[in-house]
Amino acid sequence: MVLAQLGGSISRALQQMSNATVIDEKVLNECLNEITRALLQSDVQFKLVRDMQTNIKKIVNLDDLAAGHNKRKIIQQAIFNELCKMLDPGKPSFTPKKGKPSVVMFVGLQGSGKTTTCTKYAYYYQKKGWKPALVCADTFRAGAFDQLKQNATKAKIPFYGSYMESDPMKIAVEGVETFKKENCDLIIVDTSGRHKQEAALFEEMRQVSEATKPDLVIFVMDSSIGQAAFDQAQAFRQSVSVGAVIVTKMDGHAKGGGALSAVAATRSPVIFIGTGEHMDEFEVFDVKPFVSRLLGMGDWSGFMDKIHEVVPMDQQPELLQKLSEGNFTLRIMYEQFQNILKMGPISQVFSMLPGFSAELMPKGREKESQAKIKRYMTMMDSMTNEELDSSNPKLINESRIMRIARGSGRQIKEVMEMFEEYKRLAKIWSKMKGLKIPKKGEMSALSRNMNA
């Protein structure tokens, strides 16, 4: 995900600023210019970036800062707040209520991932106890109904559509009525998407919206559309009242910054992101953890949620205990590598930590990463228990490195590379030191503490 690069550039800019002995106007400007460049390269609209820069400069008045204030922290916080502001339109999106029928209409250009996302959205709520249903009001694209039907059948979600009827309004109304009678509490209407932003598409969309009176209109946007995001999102908003955005294909090579622009254009929040073609490759989008992750601060709340969600109950205490001790030994690294190779749930957990999955196992390069991990494990097989259980990197001196290389049939350079990786991961792991084991529902408090 190219957003990871944006995060990397921003944290590097902040780090460089932190390394400066004195933070003056020049240092601040350099840091802001770096961040501006990174945002523009990630396809965030120029005006937004410029406004952000102006706002930060307004907030951070170096002359006014009383002596003794931690200027770096103030600047970092200002950048964090501005990025959050860009992504948070200030009004929450409508959320469906269990047991009360809600109609949610999906709009977007053809190919944006609309139909796939409808099912992902339905599936997400179904898992949480809702009774969703899908209506295919896309009569323009041949095969749209079949696609929806196939997805819906796989997820065991009731669906409605027609091969014969060409009036999308009629199908939408009939579908909504049918499912209301069946006591479905989340009725999702998929509409047509065309290649071009034809007037007919917008008119049809407006009519379907008028006929079905949706509680929420979701604009689905492909994250790879880049700078076009702002105009496209605005065009949709002018025809129907968009209440939320879902950004798809965040797993690909998209720059992702378009998401920020779409929020500005629709003044609606991003509620989910699509991270793959499969039904469950779909994540709730939360602004603060997202920006934390972007700034290399780690998504602690997401991390804890994931632990509760995917790590078997009996393994949770042990993992959390190890985390709270903050001591990352080579043995822990070995165990985590075993988990990653098994593609067990823990690998999903670690993708929440900055530096773990994104750098160790970038998406799309899984094969190379697996080979690398296996190589590291072979080298660790040649280590003694003392070496594996120590969290003191100084223990591994030159002669030990030579012995490990000989024993595993690898080059000294490779063993050193493995230790560098270990040190990098140990640094991340150490941030979890003192971690209190939270119960469910206490995540946001934890997130605040960790980010403070």
Question: Which residue ranges make up the site for ligand GDP (CB under 6 A)?
Answer: 108, 110-116, 193, 248-249, 251-252, 274-277
- Could you tell me the two tokens for 48? 């937004």
Q: CA dist 106 to 10, 101, 191, 192, Å?
A: 33, 16, 6, 9
Radius of gyration of the chain, Cα coordinates, nearest whole angstrom: 25
Rounded to a whole number of angstroms, the minimum distance from the CB of residue 31 to ligand GDP is: 33
Rounded to a whole number of angstroms, the minimum distance from the CB of residue 416 to ligand GDP is: 36
Q: Which is nearer to ligand GDP, 113 or 298 (CB)?
A: 113
Residue type, 348: Q
The DSSP symbol for 343 reads: T
Q: Which is nearer to ligand GDP, 34 or 251 (CB)?
A: 251
Q: Which is nearer to ligand GDP, 114 or 306 (CB)?
A: 114
| Angstrom distance (rounded) from CA 139 to CA 161 | 9
Contact 135, 189 (CB under 8 A): yes
Q: Which is nearer to ligand GDP, 91 or 195 (CB)?
A: 195
- Could you tell me the two tokens for 38? 């990174």
Rounded to a whole number of angstroms, the minimum distance from the CB of residue 213 to ligand GDP is: 23
| Angstrom distance (rounded) from CA 207 to CA 169 | 7
Rounded to a whole number of angstroms, the minimum distance from the CB of residue 132 to ligand GDP is: 17
Within 13 Å, how many C-alpha atoms sit on residue 348's CB side?
Answer: 17
| Angstrom distance (rounded) from CA 50 to CA 374 | 46
Q: Which is nearer to ligand GDP, 111 or 326 (CB)?
A: 111
- Could you tell me the two tokens for 253? 């090579």
Rounded to a whole number of angstroms, the minimum distance from the CB of residue 311 to ligand GDP is: 25
Helix (H, G, I), strand (E, B) or coil at 103: strand
Q: Which is nearer to ligand GDP, 140 or 419 (CB)?
A: 140
Residue type, 255: K
Nearest residue to ligand GDP by CB is 274
| Vertex 356: Cα angle to 385 and 379 (nearest 5) | 35
Q: Which is nearer to ligand GDP, 114 or 288 (CB)?
A: 114
Rounded to a whole number of angstroms, the minimum distance from the CB of residue 58 to ligand GDP is: 37
Would you give the distance in Å from CA 104 to the centre of its chain?
23
Rounded to a whole number of angstroms, the minimum distance from the CB of residue 387 to ligand GDP is: 41
SS3 percent helix, strand, coil of the chain, rounded to 5, is 60, 10, 35
Q: Which is nearer to ligand GDP, 282 or 328 (CB)?
A: 282
Q: Which is nearer to ligand GDP, 102 or 116 (CB)?
A: 116
Rounded to a whole number of angstroms, the minimum distance from the CB of residue 194 to ligand GDP is: 10
| Angstrom distance (rounded) from CA 222 to CA 109 | 9
Rounded to a whole number of angstroms, the minimum distance from the CB of residue 283 to ligand GDP is: 10
Contact 92, 78 (CB under 8 A): no
Q: Give which of 347, 261, 354 is closest to 49, Cα–Cα.
A: 261
Q: Which is nearer to ligand GDP, 193 or 289 (CB)?
A: 193
Q: Give which of 141, 135, 132 is closest to 109, Cα–Cα.
A: 141
Contact 247, 273 (CB under 8 A): yes
Rounded to a whole number of angstroms, the minimum distance from the CB of residue 378 to ligand GDP is: 33
